[in-house]
Amino acid sequence: MADSGTGALEVGETLEVSVRAMAHGGEGIADAPDGRVVFVRGAIPGDRVEARPTKVKKRWARADLVEVLEPSPQRTRQVCQAAAHGAGCCDFGFVTAPAQRELKREVLVGQLRTLAKRSGVLDGFQADSDLQETALAPDHGWRTRARLGVDSEGRAGLRKLRSTELVTEFPCAQMVPGLLDGLVGPGGRRFTPGAEVIAVIDSTGARHVVETAKVQRGRRAETIDTVIEGTGMVTERVDDREFTFPATAFWQAHTAAPQAYADIVAQWGEAANAPGAVGWDLYGGVGMFAPAISRALGGGRVETVDYSPAATGTPQPGLADLDVRVRNARVEVSVDKLPSPALVVLDPPRSGAGAEVVGAVAQAAPPRVIHIGCDPATLARDLGTWGEHGYRVERMMLIDAFPLTHHFETVVLLTPRA
């Protein structure tokens, strides 16, 4: 085992380190005896741990946690049985609730300082004092939809971290009661080996279970191969409006998230209210934000754009009395075809909007932009690009919408600089 002495860091050798900070991605940051920064999965600030490097580079290393030698005061018992047996679901399930939120704030502020500050987008905004925060309740049993892998014996389960192996015998603490009953665990139903299983409990309380063919990593299964339970068409409500769509289409996972996000959009976008105003709903999915945008505009027209046929292929009853136009297309090829906006809301995937989309939206010169990001690094990069195009952060809110995990959502209001 390496210790406080000298010696090169090598893969497979163990070392003792003290964790001093949290990195984006849910890894603890420590310093190796040879000066390298070590990222330790499963460790949090305040821990002293034994770790085993799995990758060693010139300036940094990545390591697996072997043993906690001295626990952080914020460390507690892992509340998720699946995560305790290796599933990659609740990677913060052993962290106290207040500490989870503090660690997420630390990560976001660090990413903003590193990636966004130089562009001027943070001029007049002090992340330490101006950043708003809220946590959605409940913090256990909040997830209304799950995607499961299926092993060679037909058993469904959650995937292990950075692995194709599954945990098929134990439940996850995120899931709303009943979501995985009879699907995961001893005596669970058998499915097609190699398939994906999607389970949803919608706002009516109905459970839908469907099978899809496995897709390339990073892509979303769109086509339902087999409906196993329910109709395969889920019903959700936001703003007292009904949305119906296939179980494979995107919807926010936390039971409280859709309404919470919609209320923020309506409130923060209100200054855009003007007769005949147009709003853009980019990466709009089934159009969940369209009613909130219409509220903010005082009933104006909303253009919603998403490339997913599962999301855009079903006319939504909740949009029938609104002036909403749905486009099934990629955002990057659609922006220059839309009418001039008074308000733009964009909720891109984890990979972010990117310079092309941000630049095209900025070219349209909207007076208010609400940018929603579920990854702090890609969000900070996008904010830097907004700054390069003359926009600044007016408001920002960290929303702990993924309790028991290192993930969180950030909503940002951007306006043009002077």
Residues tagged in the binding site annotation for S-adenosyl-L-methionine: 252, 283, 306, 347
Q: What kind and span of H or E run contains 148? A: strand 145-150
* Exposed/middle/buried for residue 259 (C-beta within 10 Å: 0-12, 13-18, 19+): middle
Is residue 374 flagged as an active site residue? Answer: yes
DSSP state of 218: T
Cα–Cα distance measured from residue 37 to residue 34, given in angstroms and rounded to the nearest whole number: 9
Distance of CA 291 to the CA centre of its chain: 22
For residue 198, count CB atoms less than 10 angstroms from its CB and return exposed for 0-12, middle for 13-18, buried for 19 or more: buried
Outline where 195-296 has alpha helix (H).
257-268, 290-296
The three-state secondary structure class of 389 is coil
How big is the CA angle at 277 (ends 272 and 283), to the nearest 5 degrees? 80
180 vs 172: CA distance, rounded Å:
9
> Cα separation of 100 and 88, whole Å?
16
Q: What strands, in cross-sheet order, belong to the sheet with 409-416?
A: 132-135, 391-400, 409-416, 368-373, 343-346, 278-282, 301-306, 324-328
User: Quick one: residue 59, left, alpha or beta (phi over 0 = left, psi -120 to 50 = alpha)?
Assistant: alpha
d(CA 177, CA 143): 9
Residue burial 358-389, b: 16+ Cβ < 10 Å; e: rest: bbbbbeeebebbbbbbbbbbbbbbbbbbbbbb
The residues assigned a catalytic role are 374
